[in-house]
């Protein structure tokens, strides 16, 4: 097991990509803390992760609130003694045309997707500096690389911020033996994307199946991601095999974006 004796914190772990990452990390031997705004969802993920035999912890946390972020990381360290890996996965969006977006949309999306990722990264790094190193994995998106099918422009901007943050954080934290990378998922079949597809189906007068098929037709490999595809990349970036990789943002998208 490549992550044995590693303590991993996953935010937004209650469902979708976050849940898949938490379970995959546990499957590789990690001690897993599953954090989510919905404590019941975090507890469900932790219960599933416990089937792999390692210690688990469920935490209620608002990743748009700095005090909540601080309490979340402090709880992990108090429970397990250290923090080796954080996966900053929590994120929000909605499907909207650029001219329909509001200041409230900007504040809500950036509060979690940009501000939240930064302060989770900073708080985790504080622990990692003191213990001699660690891994930080941020969840960006191909939306941050200009993917035309993004849910909205504000979401794209927030994920572009994550990609830029990843580069600068990697440069500045390398001296402390901290690797910082991000993952840029393409179309991934989660409840969030399912809701977006349903919204577009209603607005376009089409069935959900027709809209999903149209999405997948644009993907060179011809299939959307499953959450496990993103989890596999997260496990790799947390593993010993990625010890010399930092400052990178990896597309996992079936070939939708090639830069």
Query: For position 178, what pLDDT does the model report?
Result: 99
Q: Is 155 a catalytic residue?
A: yes
Residue 60 has what DSSP assignment? E
DSSP H or E segment with residue 209: helix 208-217
Q: Exposed (0-12), middle (13-18) or buried (19+): which is 239, by Cβ within 10 Å? A: middle
pLDDT bin (cut points 50, 70, 90) of residue 67 is very high
Task: Using pLDDT thresholds of 50, 70 and 90, give the confidence band for residue 249.
Answer: very high
Residue 169, token pair as written in the block: 């954080």
Which pLDDT tens digit goes with each residue over 131-171?
999 999 999 999 999 999 899 999 999 999 999 999 999 99
Tell whether the model's pLDDT for residue 191 goes beyond 90.
no
The full set of domain ranges for the chain reads 7-188+226-252
Residue of 155, 166, 193, 211 marked active site? 155
| Each residue's pLDDT tens digit, 228-248 | 999 999 999 999 999 999 999
Read off the pTM: 0.95
Which residues are bridge partners to 58 per DSSP?
Answer: 34
**Whole-number Å distance between alpha carbons of 234 and 137:** 7
**Average pLDDT, integer, range 22-51:** 98
Helices 153-173 and 117-131 pack at an angle, to 10 degrees, of: 20
Determine contact, residues 72/13, Cβ cutoff 8 Å. Answer: no
* CA angle in degrees (0–180, nearest 5) for 216-221-226: 65
- The arithmetic mean of pLDDT across residues 111-134, rounded, is 98
Q: Which CATH number is 7-188+226-252 given?
A: 3.40.50.720
DSSP string, 159-188: HHHHHHHHHHHHHHHGGGTEEEEEEEE-SB
Q: Which residue has the tokens 């990692």?
A: 128
């Amino acid at each position: 097991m490549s992550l044995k004796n590693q303590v991993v914190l996953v935010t937004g772990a209650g469902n979708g990509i976050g849940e898949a990452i938490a379970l995959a990390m546990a499957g590789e031997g990690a001690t897993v803390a599953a954090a989510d705004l919905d404590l019941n969802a975090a507890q469900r993920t932790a219960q599933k992760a416990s089937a792999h035999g390692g210690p688990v912890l469920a935490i209620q946390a608002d990743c748009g609130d700095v005090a909540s972020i601080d309490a979340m990381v402090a709880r992990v360290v108090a429970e397990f003694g250290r923090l080796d890996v954080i996966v900053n996965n929590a994120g929000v969006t909605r499907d909207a045309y650029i001219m329909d977006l509001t200041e409230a949309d900007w504040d809500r999306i950036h509060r979690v997707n940009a501000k939240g990722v930064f302060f989770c990264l900073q708080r985790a790094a504080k622990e990692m500096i003191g213990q001699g190193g660690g891994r930080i994995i941020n969840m960006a998106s191909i939306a941050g690389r200009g993917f035309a099918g993004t849910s909205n422009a504000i979401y794209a901007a927030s994920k572009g911020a994550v990609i830029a943050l990843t580069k600068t954080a990697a440069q500045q934290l390398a001296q402390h033996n901290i690797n910082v990378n991000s993952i840029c998922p393409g179309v991934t079949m989660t409840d969030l994307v399912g809701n977006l597809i349903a919204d577009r189906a209603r607005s376009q007068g089409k069935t959900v199946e027709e809209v999903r098929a149209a999405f997948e037709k644009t993907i060179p490999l011809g299939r959307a991601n499953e959450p496990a595809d993103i989890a596999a990349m997260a496990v790799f970036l947390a593993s010993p095999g990625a010890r010399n990789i930092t400052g990178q943002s990896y597309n996992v998208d079936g070939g939708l974006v090639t830069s």
